[in-house]
Structure 1
């Protein structure tokens, strides 16, 4: 049986769909029943009759920080996809980020070792890979650095170290490092926030850019890596390197909205994170832009995905613009409903 942590997230829900379609018996962890309904909605995007596939999933209420429940979750499991993670760019959440992503992954790794799991796949992020001082491409061997000091990157890097520990203690492991993941259904987090922003016809977009990939590409790569004799390696999953302006414009056009024409200046970002700090400090509002995240928008990183293409001969990346159009159709339909 296959175990999926974080089964109610963007990657996890799409992974469950692919595993169920392939005939696997799957156990998925969840924290609230409301999230299961969201997975059912995701299945409905792709299948007219999703019930037989949903019936292949055994849901178990658990948390990766709850060791007793996690021990139960591993009963009868032979392979593990670890997708669960806490995502926040609010400096106030730094301790929670480190605890959930590092300690939680350590708990998963310990269970994998104790249960003699055949293989582990961990969903990390390009945030856990070092950057470059110039326009050269980031690869899997780029040296780690976190000069911006933001907690999410540090937590994912720390989680990767736990996965490498698993590989040292007899659990074959692979890590995927996706860029910004594009896909439907999750409009209040990740790339869903970009669609919400583009829908409002902003005049400005964020400066610089990063790597982008579709959720189906991430899931497909994960499954292929687990099925083949590939272990103890990491893989960047980036289809294209694009500016935020370019991507936001494509989203706006797909929704028949006016695209942004300009990017925010660095001065605006510097003023912005300070105002955001004041709102968070004085009014207690949740931070949206910290000093560390503002620094990320000063330069564009370019990511090299040639390794995954050379290892998986039958794997190709989907067209990003086609995915933006597909996701935009779903977004607009749900805005009208």
Structure 2
């Protein structure tokens, strides 16, 4: 891949699942990389410049973007917890607006915005497969989905004001992140012998594939487009079975019915209110786990014919091994 060695690239959310993988895939010896995060860990990768900055701090953000030519916007707050609604909306909408404004002010050449399939509408009627053309509706959408959709609106505004930008909409991202939060928490549930499963279907994608697609799109002439990034549409039952095999633990055996899901998420909600601890199971996640959402990523394949997805089996197997090493299992 021919990259200009004079390019200065900034990654927001650089310590997160997607941001850290993009850094792994960029050649630090060929151009200048700035990793931006609110809190920089002691074990942060060497060879790049690290900047501690809150995306809501406009002054610090403007300073961080001086001389930057490309920006990967991976920072965001992923939560379906109703108690965290205000934080989700503020970071994902206002934070993105701040970044877009600073990119325009500092003459950034191109912005790659990491959104989510949560910002894409649901298929209606006989149409079961969701693509980039499906119309988004606020009714029934999660607060997180609203925040990502409105964050995209800020990027489209930036395009109208002269900023080159491209958006990716990954499905549920699989990678060896913090297994106490986000999508990686599913691995912990399976490892802890969580016995329940649903037959709902959703899209899943390897974090390495998300990062590769982001880098390829950034260094292409493509602008003003959004792309679903989805490796496979599979049932949660199949997903959990693959995780169980990867950890060598029993597969979930108890099927969750819609009525049972409504009862369980309410029970978990009451428990979280009493303990003060958030649960990955709530009204939104419980209902999402029961529905069929199949995503069509053919637009990305047509735009990037050299791009290929990792099989979901290999993704799960590799992630299980990485988590076992990470947590000394």
TM-score interval for Structure 1 and Structure 2 normalised by the shorter chain: over 0.9
Q: Distance in 2 between matches of 1:284 and 1:28?
A: 33
Aligned 1:193-232 pairs, distance under 5 A: 193-232=185-224
The offset of 1:135, in angstroms, is: 5.4
Q: Distance in 2 between matches of 1:78 and 1:92?
A: 37
CA deviation vs aligned residue, 1:142-187 (integer Å, no higher than 9, x gap): 0002432421101000100000111111011100000111112432
* Counterpart for residue 95 of structure 2: 104
Q: Distance in 2 between matches of 1:295 and 1:316?
A: 31
* Counterpart for residue 153 of structure 2: 161
Unaligned 5+ segments in structure 2 are 1-7
* Counterpart for residue 31 of structure 1: 38
User: SS state of the match for residue 111, structure 1?
Assistant: helix
CA deviation vs aligned residue, 1:197-240 (integer Å, no higher than 9, x gap): 11122221244121011111101111111111100000000011
* Counterpart for residue 116 of structure 1: 107
For these two proteins, the number of residue pairs brought into alignment is 321
CA deviation vs aligned residue, 1:290-324 (integer Å, no higher than 9, x gap): 32333323311010000000011111111111111
CA deviation vs aligned residue, 1:55-97 (integer Å, no higher than 9, x gap): 1x10011010011110110111011100000111110111111
- Which has the higher mean CA deviation after the structures are superposed, 283-292 or 126-135? 283-292
- Which has the higher mean CA deviation after the structures are superposed, 205-214 or 183-192? 183-192
User: SS state of the match for residue 336, structure 1?
Assistant: coil
1:178 and 2:178 are equivalent in the alignment? no
Q: Distance in 2 between matches of 1:153 and 1:247?
A: 23
Match for residue 296 of structure 1 among 288, 293, 301? 288
Conserved 8 A contact 1:150-1:293: no
1:254 and 2:254 are equivalent in the alignment? no
- Which aligned segments of 4 or more residues in structure 1 are displaced greater than 4 angstroms? none
Conserved 8 A contact 2:77-2:91: yes
User: SS state of the match for residue 327, structure 2?
Assistant: helix
RMSD: 1.7
The offset of 1:123, in angstroms, is: 0.3
Aligned 1:79-98 pairs, distance under 5 A: 79-98=70-89
Aligned 1:255-294 pairs, distance under 5 A: 255-294=247-286
Q: Distance in 2 between matches of 1:16 and 1:269?
A: 39
User: SS state of the match for residue 314, structure 1?
Assistant: coil
Match for residue 9 of structure 1 among 12, 16, 31? 16
Match for residue 300 of structure 2 among 293, 301, 308? 308
User: SS state of the match for residue 157, structure 1?
Assistant: helix
* Counterpart for residue 49 of structure 1: none
Query: CA 1:213–1:22 in 2, change beyond 3 Å: closer, same or farther?
Result: farther
Q: How does the TM-score come out when normalised to structure 1?
A: 0.91
Query: CA 1:193–1:62 in 2, change beyond 3 Å: closer, same or farther?
Result: same
Q: Greater helix percent: which structure?
A: 1
Query: CA 1:299–1:185 in 2, change beyond 3 Å: closer, same or farther?
Result: closer
Unaligned 5+ segments in structure 1 are 41-53
